[in-house]
Structure 1
Amino acid sequence: MLKVERPKTLKESALESLRDAITNNVLTPGTRLVERTLCETMGVSRTVVRECIRHLESERLVVGIPNSGFVVASLSDEEVKEIYEIRTLLECSAVAACCEKANSDVVQTLYTLQHQIADALEKDDIKTGLSVTTEFYELIFKTADRHVSWDLVDQLNSRISRLRGLTLRTSGRKKVGPKDLYDIVKAIEEKNANKAKEICARHLKEAYEVATLLFQSQLQDQAG
């Protein structure tokens, strides 16, 4: 039987909206989250807003400041570096293992997802691009039987999406990123684990370099 999708609750919709505003850089680091303003903007109660903020605090997207309420969290250079180091270790291992286990159906699905990512970014639809990118990597990890690794990545996904959202706003990454994903899928199809790992590592190294520059520029703008 086909799975029946459950309608989203008001809280789930509000949480998704607020999370998207942060990961898409609409709410920038340091922005104060004023409950009344959020209630009016999203058309929900203060109870819902507070629940959303608490949830985002658990995802490390917002942080509480004593006597000042909650603000959008900043990411330090060290945190950005560590996130990309963790991604490199886990993703390179996953794509290599996926080369051994992926069948033709998985490969075709990966090509389809890669095409959807490229199409979304070409249309400046960052939200869809981020969502489908998560699906893309989830399929790779689960095909590779890297379920524990995916759990770890999943815990970081809000912060990963935030970094992706920032880098994908540059015209270069909108083109290079999807091309790298295509090359990874091609290596998986060819069952060339070394090539897949090499492309994955280069992709993440270049993304890290862009993210570092953008975050430093963002922090300088705020300080100025």
Structure 2
Amino acid sequence: MQKVERPKTLKESALTSLRDAITSNTLKPGTRLVERTLCETMGVSRTVVRECIRHLESERLVHGIPNSGFVVASISDSEAREIYEIRALLEGAAVKACSKVITSEVISQLYAIHDDIALYLEKDDIKTALKLTTSFYELIFKTGEKHVAWVLVEQLNSRISRLRAFTLNSEGRKTAGPKDLYDLVKALEEHNPERAVEICERHLRQAYEIAVQIDKGTKL
């Protein structure tokens, strides 16, 4: 018997919708979150909207301004740098552990997810590509039994996805990013931890450099 998935509640659906709007940059940093507008757009009550905003505040995607309500938060250069540094440490450990125990079944799954990521990026469907990228790394972390590390990554995932969305919109990144992921799977398939860590670090370094360049012209 297959596991029956629990249907999403109205709040969960609204939270996903609002989070996606922020991480995809549809709602840009500094945008004021007007409750009435959000209620009308998503077709939910003010109670649901307020719960969603409070949840996103805990994820550091929005922040409150006294007497002005909530706005979409920006990510400073120092915060972006620290996020990439943390990712490098956690992902480096995960790919290293994964490379030692990975099976042909998991390798096939990673290649399949990679193909889907490349396909959706080609279609300019950034939202789906971001969700697939999260699944890609989740599989690597859990295969390497880095479960606590993945919990830490999940706490940063909203801001990680937001940074990814910014970098994926830069010239050449939609092809360079998937190429790095393919090379990473290849290194894992060859059980080459040093190569896997090297690719992971290079991928993150290039992503951070792109994010810094973007930040010069627009808020992250």
Query: Same fold per TM (> 0.5)?
Result: yes
Rounded Cα–Cα distance in structure 1 between residues aligned with 2:216 and 2:24: 17
Partner of 1:118: 118
Paired position in structure 1 for 2:217 = 217
Question: In 2, Cα distance between the equivalents of 1:184 and 1:212?
Answer: 24
* Aligned positions of 1:145-164 closer than 5 A: 145-164=145-164
Deviation at 1:219, TM superposition (A): 3.1
Q: How does 1:22-37 map to 2 (within 5 A)?
A: 22-37=22-37
2:63 match: secondary structure:
strand
In structure 1, list runs of 5 or more residues that go unmatched.
none
Q: Which runs of 4+ in 1 moved over 4 A?
A: none
Rounded Cα–Cα distance in structure 2 between residues aligned with 1:169 and 1:10: 31
Tell me which residue corresponds to 1:167. 167
Contact preservation (8 Å) 2:33, 2:71: yes
Deviations 1:138-161 (A, max 9, x none): 000010111111111110000000
Give 3-state SS (helix, strand or coil) of 1:124's partner.
coil
Identity of aligned residues (%): 70
Query: AA paired with 2:94?
Result: A
Amino acid corresponding to residue 126 of structure 2 in structure 1:
I
Tell me, what secondary structure is at the counterpart of 1:139?
A: helix
Deviations 1:67-103 (A, max 9, x none): 1100000111100000000001110111111110101
Letter in 1 for 2:154: D
- The residue type equivalent to 1:117 in the other structure is I
Question: What is the aligned residue count?
Answer: 220
Alignment of 1:107-146 (within 5 A): 107-146=107-146
The 3-state SS of whatever aligns with 2:36 is: helix
2:202 aligned residue: 202
Secondary structure of residue in 2 paired with 1:217: coil
Checking the alignment, whether the CA contact within 8 Å between 2:75 and 2:219 is kept in structure 1 is: no
TM-score (norm 2): 0.98
2:95 pairs with 1:95? yes
Return the alpha-carbon distance in structure 1 between the equivalents of residues 142 and 119 of structure 2.
Answer: 24
| 1:20 counterpart letter in structure 2 | D
CA RMSD of aligned residues (A): 1.0
Worse overlay, 201-210 or 162-171: 162-171
Specify every segment of 5 or more residues in structure 2 that has no aligned partner in the other structure, as ranges: none
Aligned equivalents of 2:201 and 2:219: distance in 1?
27
Kindly provide the amino acid, as one letter, of the partner of residue 203 in structure 1. H
- Structure 1 counterpart of 2:193: 193
SS at match of 2:191: coil
Greater shift after overlay, 211-220 or 65-74? Answer: 211-220
CA distance in 2, matches of 1:208, 1:99: 25
Deviations 1:35-83 (A, max 9, x none): 0111111111100100000000011000011111000001111000000
State the alpha-carbon separation in 1 of the partners of residues 215 and 43 from structure 2.
Answer: 31
Distance of 1:219 and 1:83 partners within structure 2: 16
